[in-house]
Structure 1
């Protein structure tokens, strides 16, 4: 016969799993030891055009978060100004995309994977113990003739 089953064990395993996932989401996939005390710099794309007269900043998921147009840029004419603005926006979005790809490429889920394997093994053992306890209880009831 198996020992007493902790009914809160499965809930504890689920809580540990959710906690591990939460830590990795908050840290961008980095382990606690890799984090710094300072918050991470927000992800931002940046580009200049028209010899620095136009500055564009972009932010996820692909929106323009800021634009500076030097008054001298207006003298370029509407057609050239439109081309320079388009160029700056596209370059800033490309910069944002490159930075996003760099961040996601650095994500290492090996520690999370190990934690989840441990949680899975423990949860499996807990389920086995619970099932064995149910089988033992059923056998005891059957041996007593249903009384």
Structure 2
């Protein structure tokens, strides 16, 4: 007779997946907490400067007084150019920061978890087959 099926083994497998994903998302212990990326942009020969922060907000806009001599249309184009440059810089920095996760280690951990889950399911299936056979034998004894 086999031992009762332990469903906690299957739940443990799912807990392992969640833990592995959590470790991949958390900063590693040997790195300091990363500062959020900041994007910067300039226009009008550096007389218009913009700083952008996640999730795509303009944190700072600086204009030298000489830029106010431009027409309203020219000034608007220069500000738009600086803002777009800052947002593009922010996007590039955010992608670089997000891409630094160690996906190779996560893949290896998930492969190990998958193999363990396959063993657990095989054990569960074998126990169910044996239980069914025992029920069939008992029904035949009556």
Asked whether the two chains share a fold, i.e. TM above 0.5, the reply is: yes
Q: Which position in structure 1 is the counterpart of 2:21?
A: 21
Q: Which is bigger in relative contact order (C-alpha 8 A, separation at least 6)? A: 1
Give the match for residue 145 of structure 1.
139
Q: Contact between 1:43 and 1:100, CA under 8 Å: does it hold in 2? A: yes
Shift of 1:84: 1.4
Size of the aligned set, in residue pairs, is: 141
**Is the 1:56–1:67 contact (alpha carbons within 8 Å) kept by the matching residues of 2?**
yes
* C-alpha RMSD over aligned residues: 2.4
Unaligned runs of 5+ in 1: none
Q: Secondary structure at the match of 1:42?
A: coil
Describe the SS at the equivalent of 1:46.
Answer: strand
Q: 1:114 aligns with which of 103, 108, 112?
A: 108
Unaligned runs of 5+ in 2: none
Structure 1 residue runs of 4+, over 4 Å off?
1-4
In the other structure, the counterpart of 2:67 is: 73
- 2:35 is matched with 41
> Over residues 90-145 of structure 1, what are the superposed CA-to-partner deviations in whole Å (9 max), with x where a residue is unaligned?
21122123223433444431100000011111111111111111111111111112
Output the TM-score relative to the length of structure 1: 0.79
TM-score, normalised with respect to structure 2:
0.82
Judge conservation of contact 1:44–1:96 (CA < 8 Å) in 2: yes
Select which of 53, 59, 71 maps to 1:59: 53
Structure 2 residue aligned with 1:99: 93
DSSP-derived class of the 1:145 partner: helix
**1:2–1:129 contact (8 Å) kept in structure 2:** no
